[in-house]
Amino acid sequence: MTAVEVCAVVLAAGEGSRLRPLTERVPKALCPVGNVPLLDRVLTRLAGLGLTGTRRVAVNASYLAGQVIAHVGDRAHRSVEPDGPLGTAGGVAKLHDWIGGRGVLVGNADAYLADPRRPPGPDIAALLHGWDGETVRLLGQPAADPTAPGTFDGHVFTGFSLLPWRRVRDLPVEFGDLVRTVWRPAEAAGELTVVPYPGTFYDTGTPVDYLTANLHAAGGGTLVDPTALVTGLCRSAVIGAGARVHGAVTNAVVWPQATVRPDEHVRNAIRVGDELTVGAGEPLLPGASSMSGEADERSELP
């Protein structure tokens, strides 16, 4: 795939403020999509590339860090940012010693990717194929407006970038973003390439994108965890572990252990616990790409 040794960094430190109040309970990286935490989806994708274990994969954490650290366990090296998230660049910089001269595949924990033709891992393998260890590569999809701010060579970023050591080694351990510190300088030097992603992408950063990603993961139908109890009517929904659905659910996500009472109809929304319902509006059509740029970091847009 590449002669250059590569490690992977999963960025999971952010709060996900646009998903509040969902993220008042859990960090965005642990929000379930298709009944699988987003972080686990990234780790599975990396494993599909042969990147596993504490030497090859690192995960950073800051907001509700204890939950992230406990969830990761011994599956990856863990990097805690105790004074608040350091941003995408600062998070990578804090792992300088662990990276130790290798190329870095950086993935956003909140990026939902799905390609019906390839399993996770092989679906982004083109990002690594033939890499010389010197240039910056971004995974992207054609933008609706190729000239819009935040695009790269007419593409929107879809969650993964490949960085050479020479552009990582001098990053300061302070708040900063990869757009300004690495990507745009590489682009200006003619050293940035966008590798197209042919599947579906959502950054899950807003309730509607999060809901749409869940419905896409359900394949247009209803996905019910085997431990859930459903006596009501479900149409186009994701029902989590231990959930109890006695009412109606349409175009919705019911989180693990949540309850929908017999007199309720949860529609175009996410239900958490017994009472919290987060409205999302009409979901995007499954299969349509979300053009949201670098996920969860609005300050990262140029």
**pLDDT score for 302:** 29
**pLDDT score for 292:** 38
Give me the half-sphere count of Cα atoms (radius 13 Å) on the Cβ side of residue 146.
Answer: 4
Mean per-residue pLDDT over the chain, rounded: 92
pLDDT digits (tens, 9 = 90+) for 88-146: 999 999 999 999 999 999 999 999 999 999 999 999 999 999 999 999 999 999 998 98
CA 12/CA 29 separation, integer angstroms: 6
Q: What is the pTM of this model?
A: 0.91
**pLDDT score for 258:** 97
Q: Give percent of the chain with pLDDT exceeding 70.
A: 93
Token pair in block for residue 261 = 């009472």
Cα-Cα-Cα-Cα torsion 201, 204, 208, 212, nearest 10 degrees, comes to: 50
Domain layout of the chain by residue ranges: 6-202, 207-279
Per-residue pLDDT band for 298 (boundaries 50, 70, 90) equals: very low
Just give the CATH number of 6-202: 3.90.550.10
